[in-house]
């Protein structure tokens, strides 16, 4: 019996004005790349010499230079087109690989775990705390980093399935990436990892975490009010594209209530103009989103109830403020979700 062929790894990095970060992160990555592995970097018109720094740190890297900032999602697609590995590893430029990352991230594919995609454990603060141990998705499409801020000792000790994989360190077999068409180029940035994870799940592929594959992420959530526009429009794009019809119908009252609450929150927090722009973006894109929905739903291999099983009814993220600490709100959401899940199990809505 011949030993299995080695898994060729293509590490994909998108950069924009992050010279110091890539010098640190890629220096930690370069020595881990083996024969047949490659690093593909797409630079979105950096003005600080980032692309030159990549070539200095990893001389064999493939560096593609864009004339403008086309966004994270389109640039990832560019990098994947230039890659030749069996396994694509999306890595943020400010995520520094721990020793053994490249070896550990291959294991789910080598071991035949059957996952459609998976992530490494993303730490912060020099490896002392968790940035994300698996993305969490509320049934309204709001998503956040699981166990963010917790001591790293609380990280999962063994591989497990998660609702979505973090794009900071996310591995996707090349065949799965091609089947799904990569990221939606219309997302620009934010929420594209949620959308891709849910599409893979629709097609029957679980999402996992390999906790022995680690990166340390120099993460900051607050990046200005414009982030809210992108988050909200991309959340709605994900809902329209990926949620099965039965789930959408049952969630309609909850989605409406969520929008009313978010409008109040945005007014109080000062990002109401961004919320309004997100609505306008979604309405303009709706014909395209509905066309994409038909294509995506045609590939669905799981029932609506199975798809919905990864969602949570509780708003537990620290970034959600008072909503996360409201027992009454979370109790009502949990009751509503229990009713939805029960209805999804009935024969009339099972598909």
Secondary structure, 3-state, 136-153:
EEECCCCEEECCCCCEHH
pTM comes to 0.94
Residues 29, 172 within the same domain? yes
Average pLDDT over the chain, rounded to an integer: 92
- For residue 11, the Cα-to-chain-centroid distance in whole angstroms is 16
At which of 167, 186, 217 does a domain end? 217
Contact between 62 and 33 (Cβ < 8 Å):
no
**Angstrom distance (rounded) from CA 147 to CA 155:** 8
Residue ending a domain, among 175, 198, 217, is 217
Q: State the residue range of the domain holding 30.
A: 9-217
CA distance linking residue 156 with residue 211, whole number of Å? 7
* Number of Cβ within a 10 Å radius of residue 165: 29
* Least confident interval from 45-54, 60-69, 118-127, 309-318: 309-318
For residue 340, which of 245, 246, 241 has the smallest C-alpha distance? 246
Residue 1 included in any domain = no
Nearest Cα to Cα of residue 91 among 29, 179, 49: 29
For 161-184, the pLDDT digits (tens) are 999 999 999 999 999 999 999 999
Least confident of 18-32, 294-308, 310-324: 310-324
Q: Is 350 within a domain?
A: no
- C-beta separation of 210 from 308 below 8 A: no
Q: Express each pLDDT in 309-349 by its tens digit.
A: 999 998 877 666 666 667 888 888 899 999 999 999 877 55
Q: Return all residues near 72 (Cβ < 8 A) that are at least 6 apart.
A: 14, 167, 188, 189, 190, 192
Q: Average of pLDDT values for 278-301?
A: 97
Whether residues 79 and 181 fall in one domain: yes
Same domain assignment for residues 185 and 279: no
Mark which of 189, 217, 245 sits at the end of a domain. Answer: 217
Q: Are residues 166 and 251 in the same domain?
A: no
Residues 65 and 139 in one domain: yes
Q: Across-strand partners of 14?
A: 42
pLDDT exceeds 90 at position 47: yes
Q: What spatial distance separates the first Cα and last Cα of the chain, rounded to whole Å?
A: 43
Average the pLDDT over 209-221 and give the result: 90
Shared domain check, 329 and 286: yes
Residue 83 has a pLDDT of 97
For 162, phi then psi, to 5°, come to -135, 160
Residue 1 pLDDT more than 90?
no
HSE of 98 in the Cβ direction (CA atoms, 13 Å)?
18
Q: Could you report the per-residue pLDDT of 233-268, keeping only the tens digit for each?
A: 999 999 999 999 999 999 999 899 888 888 888 888
Average pLDDT over residues 60-75: 96
For the chain, the maximum distance between any two Cα atoms, rounded to a whole number of angstroms, is 66
Q: How far apart are CA 117 and CA 195, in angstroms?
A: 12
The answer as to whether 3 is a domain residue is: no
Please tell me the predicted confidence (pLDDT) of residue 72: 96
Number of domains comprising the chain: 2
SS3 (DSSP) at 338: helix
Q: Copy the structure tokens of residue 33.
A: 């790349």
Please compute the mean of the pLDDT values over residues 141-160 and round it to a whole number. Answer: 94
Separation CA 74–CA 278 (nearest Å)? 19
Q: Is residue 196 part of a domain?
A: yes
Q: Classify residue 312 by its DSSP letter.
A: B
Q: What is the CATH number of the domain that holds 40?
A: 3.90.550.10
Q: E-assigned strands of the chain?
A: 9-15, 38-44, 62-66, 87-91, 95-97, 117-124, 129-132, 135-137, 143-145, 160-161, 169-173, 207-217
CA atoms within 13 A on the CB side of 196: 32
Same domain, 204 and 278: no
């Amino acid at each position: 019996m011949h030993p299995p062929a080695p898994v060729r790894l293509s590490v994909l990095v998108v950069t924009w004005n992050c010279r110091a970060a890539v010098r640190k992160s890629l220096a930690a990555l370069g020595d881990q790349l083996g024969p047949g592995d490659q690093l593909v970097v797409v630079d979105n018109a950096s003005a600080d010499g980032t692309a030159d720094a990549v070539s200095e740190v990893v001389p064999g890297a493939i560096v593609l230079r864009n004339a403008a900032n086309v966004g994270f999602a389109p640039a990832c697609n560019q990098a994947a087109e230039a890659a030749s590995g069996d396994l694509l590893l999306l890595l943020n430029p400010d995520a520094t690989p721990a020793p053994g990352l490249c070896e550990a991230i291959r294991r789910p594919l080598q071991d035949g775990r059957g996952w459609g995609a998976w992530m490494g454990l993303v730490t912060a603060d020099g490896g002392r705390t968790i940035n994300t141990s698996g993305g969490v998705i509320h049934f309204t499409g709001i998503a956040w980093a699981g166990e963010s801020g917790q001591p790293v000792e609380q990280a999962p000790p063994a591989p497990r399935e998660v609702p979505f994989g973090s794009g900071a360190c996310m591995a996707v077999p090349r065949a799965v990436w091609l089947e799904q068409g990569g990221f939606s180029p219309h997302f620009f940035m934010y929420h594209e990892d949620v959308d891709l994870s849910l599409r893979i799940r629709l097609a029957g592929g679980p999402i996992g975490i390999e906790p022995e594959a680690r990166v340390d992420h120099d993460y900051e959530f607050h990046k200005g009010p414009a982030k809210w526009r992108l988050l909200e429009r991309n959340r709605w794009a994900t809902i329209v594209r990926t949620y099965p019809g039965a789930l959408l119908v049952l969630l309609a009252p909850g989605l409406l209530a969520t929008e009313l609450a978010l409008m109040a929150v945005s007014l109080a927090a000062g990002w109401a103009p961004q919320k309004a722009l997100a609505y306008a973006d979604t309405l303009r894109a709706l014909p395209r989103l509905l066309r994409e929905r038909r294509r995506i739903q045609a590939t669905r291999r799981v029932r609506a109830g199975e798809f919905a099983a990864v969602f949570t009814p509780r708003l537990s993220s620290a970034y959600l403020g008072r909503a996360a600490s409201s027992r009454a709100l979370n109790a009502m959401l949990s009751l509503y979700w229990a009713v939805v899940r029960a209805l999804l199990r009935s024969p009339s809505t099972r598909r």
